[in-house]
Structure 1
Amino acid sequence: MKKISVLVIDDSALIRKLLTEIINHQPDMEVIGAAPDPLVAREMIRTLNPDVLTLDVEMPRMDGLDFLEKLMRLRPMPVVMVSTLTERGSEVTFRALELGAVDFVAKPKIDISHGLEAYGDEIARKIRAASVARVRHLEPNNTNATSSKTLQIPQRHAVSTEKLIVIGASTGGTEAIKDVLINLPSDCPGILIAQHMPPGFTRSFAERLNRLCKIRVKESEGGERVLPGHAYIAPGHSHLLLKKNGANYVTELSQADPVNRHRPSVDVLFQSVAEHAGKNAVGVILTGMGKDGAAGMLAMQRAGIYNLAQDEATCVVFGMPREAIAVGAVDEVVPLQEMAGCILDQAFGSVRRAAVRI
């Protein structure tokens, strides 16, 4: 089997060496080149034709974002960003995902002595996902931002605190979640979200969405009452669960072991919604690598919840929706651009004539 060929781009020789050792340790991938800046990388891409790039953000001669924007317009290919765990680092990372980067990892610590195996596994998983990702061409004067038109809840329906929307995603999910939430009205049902993301980035992700959306978006702190017009994102260090407190839904955080190698896990969130929400919820699974969420979505369906999956054509990676479909947990497969409308239709009992039913 042909190994996944990787080009590492980073201005630090020590980081290039560490990433090269981590990647070459994997049986199914190899580093075919390492470049200290984008100008050198540009020539190496032409001659080596790598399957995946890892790209640092702050580099000499050309900024990583400038390079990424040019690359995605002229020669689109899978890119995994290697980002510093800082406020600027997280903002730049989400901008990179807008421009078309498949995913990101936090920059490794040069003196890392423990946790190296887990860090290596994370990088390897993201490179594997990138190697099969759907990469889109970035049009001139276009940052791949989806135009939004805020939808309205049918007037005959009053928003109930019992209604819930629950969303799970992984690779490609930051942009997909944005494209869904930005179209929802300020009085939509409460939303719980599990997105695979490392600690330190989820707060910036939530703050960014809060600036863009009509609804209020926050990183969950646990113990919040789930309110209409609010979205609660699982923090990168904890599982997010739904609980019932009297007549109210509330959030709960858990430091329990990872599930499907993830914390937060989509399955953990979905299982809790199946247990406590029943027919009052709408389940949504978006783009992502792996099978996290499939078992939980099946439990939701058996509890009477209507489940939606993003279609293959609009997914960056179709893995998670495919697995949920395979176990029979999905009621409709929906293009991303129609997802917000379909969510509202199902939350309020409407029937979509154009739906693709399973």
Structure 2
Amino acid sequence: MTPVRVLVVDDSATMRSLIIESLRQDPGVEVVGQAGDPLEARDTIKLLNPDVITLDVEMPKMNGLDFLEKIMRLRPTPVIMVSNQTSLGTSTAIRALEIGAVDCVAKPSPQDRHTFDELAAKVKAAAHAHVHRYSRGIEPMKDFKATGPVANAFKSNGKLIAIGSSTGGVEALIKIISQFPADCPPTVITQHMPRLFTKSLAARMDRICAPQVSEAAEGAPLVPGHVYIAPAGDTHLEVGRSGKSLKCHLRLGDAVNGHRPSVDVLFASVAKYVGPDAIGVILTGMGRDGAASLLAMREAGARTLGQDEATCVVYGMPKVAFEIGAVQKQVSLDKMGREILDATKMSLEGVS
């Protein structure tokens, strides 16, 4: 098999060396070049035509976001963002994933020196990703949450929505949740991300979506109008019960399917405690995390949906789920938000 050809772009020579050293451990990856800034990278891309680019978020001469936009507009190529583990770095990486970056990794820190351990696998997955040409969207108005277009169109009926996603999931999640009304059913999400990045994802979604979006907290009640994102790190997000009420439970534990938090862990808890009153959704991502427990959700009476191949960045998790019979219906990303809301059987009057 021909190795995946990678261009490494970072203004730090030390960081470029660390990235290259990590990638060269995998015979399925070939580092064909490196660049210290976007202007140098532009010429190198034209010369080498790499399969995948790793791109630093913060660089001189042109920042990573501006350069990523140019790549995705003029020469769409799979890009993996490399970010500092800071509030600014992680929030910028989230915006990069919205623009069309396939995935992101964190730069090593004294607390976490193994952040590049999965880089080669991410690069190989990115090489097969479906990337699209970027067109600048319109940023939602600041008062969107207060004036949501369907603020009064829905009434809670006790349903719970559970979503699992990985590679390409940030863009998909934002597209879906931005279609939800302010009083949407309680929604729990496990998205595979590096540690600390889920906090920035929740903050970004909270700013631009009508529901309240936050990282899940231990014991937080699952109530309408709220979206809860599993925090990346040492715990799995589960749904639990306290009497008749549902709540978030963050459980310490080993990685499942190579992930912590794991979609399978979340879906298994939903199958157990929510059963037919749930809608399970599996979105773009590599691997098979979530497939087995989505099947358990379906067998427990839940409605189950999977993103279709044509709109997935990586058709891995939804493919496995579909092949084992866990997915009742495959849906394109453009239609997924509406399909989820339809499955809650709430009134759709007034929705455009």
What TM-score, normalized by structure 2, do the two folds share? 0.92
SS in 2 for 1:231: strand
Matching residue within 173, 190, 215 for 2:186: 190
Matching residue within 189, 195, 201 for 1:199: 195
User: Structure 1 pair 312/196, CA: closer, same or farther in 2 (3 Å)?
Assistant: same
SS in 2 for 1:121: coil
User: Structure 1 pair 153/327, CA: closer, same or farther in 2 (3 Å)?
Assistant: farther
Amino acid at match of 2:129: A
Give runs of aligned pairs for residues 312-327 of structure 1, distance below 5 A.
312-327=309-324
Q: Corresponding residue for 1:48?
A: 48
SS in 2 for 1:25: coil
Contact 1:3 1:30 in 2 (8 A): yes
Q: Corresponding residue for 2:220?
A: 224
Q: Corresponding residue for 2:61?
A: 61
Deviation at 1:108, TM superposition (A): 2.4
- 2:123 matches 1:127: yes
Amino acid at match of 2:243: G
Which digits, 9 at most, give the CA deviation of each residue in 1:216-235, with x for residues without a partner?
A: 11101110110011111000
Contact 2:156 2:346 in 1 (8 A): no
Deviation at 1:206, TM superposition (A): 0.6
Contact 2:239 2:270 in 1 (8 A): yes
User: Structure 1 pair 70/213, CA: closer, same or farther in 2 (3 Å)?
Assistant: same
What TM-score, normalized by structure 1, do the two folds share? 0.91
Matching residue within 191, 207, 210 for 1:211: 207
The range that moved more, 41-50 or 265-274, is 41-50
Deviation at 1:31, TM superposition (A): 0.7
SS in 2 for 1:80: strand
The answer for unaligned runs of 5 or more in structure 2 is none
Q: In 1, Cα distance between the equivalents of 2:310 and 2:328?
A: 18
Q: Corresponding residue for 2:244?
A: 247
User: Structure 1 pair 277/325, CA: closer, same or farther in 2 (3 Å)?
Assistant: same
Q: Corresponding residue for 1:268?
A: 265
Moved over 3 A (4+): 143-155
Which digits, 9 at most, give the CA deviation of each residue in 1:41-66, with x for residues without a partner?
A: 11111111111000002212222112
Amino acid at match of 1:300: M
Q: Corresponding residue for 1:355?
A: none
Amino acid at match of 2:240: K
Deviation at 1:93, TM superposition (A): 0.9
Deviation at 1:143, TM superposition (A): 4.1
User: Structure 1 pair 98/152, CA: closer, same or farther in 2 (3 Å)?
Assistant: same
Contact 1:9 1:35 in 2 (8 A): yes
SS in 2 for 1:54: strand
Deviation at 1:125, TM superposition (A): 2.1
User: Structure 1 pair 145/5, CA: closer, same or farther in 2 (3 Å)?
Assistant: farther
Contact 2:153 2:347 in 1 (8 A): no
Q: Corresponding residue for 2:330?
A: 333
Deviation at 1:144, TM superposition (A): 8.8
Contact 2:294 2:326 in 1 (8 A): yes
Q: In 2, Cα distance between the equivalents of 1:339 and 1:99?
A: 19
Amino acid at match of 2:200: S
Give runs of aligned pairs for residues 1-358 of structure 1, distance below 5 A.
1-109=1-109, 115-116=113-114, 119-139=115-135, 142-143=136-137, 150=149, 158-160=155-157, 162-237=158-233, 238-348=235-345
The answer for unaligned runs of 5 or more in structure 1 is 352-358
Q: Corresponding residue for 1:354?
A: none
Aligned CA RMSD, in angstroms, stands at 2.2
Q: In 2, Cα distance between the equivalents of 1:335 and 1:318?
A: 12
Deviation at 1:272, TM superposition (A): 0.4
Instruction: State the identity as a percent.
Output: 50
SS in 1 for 2:117: helix
Q: In 2, Cα distance between the equivalents of 1:346 and 1:49?
A: 44
SS in 1 for 2:246: strand
User: Structure 1 pair 151/297, CA: closer, same or farther in 2 (3 Å)?
Assistant: farther
Q: In 2, Cα distance between the equivalents of 1:206 and 1:251?
A: 16
Contact 1:23 1:31 in 2 (8 A): yes
Deviation at 1:323, TM superposition (A): 0.7
Q: In 2, Cα distance between the equivalents of 1:299 and 1:144?
A: 39
Amino acid at match of 2:307: Q
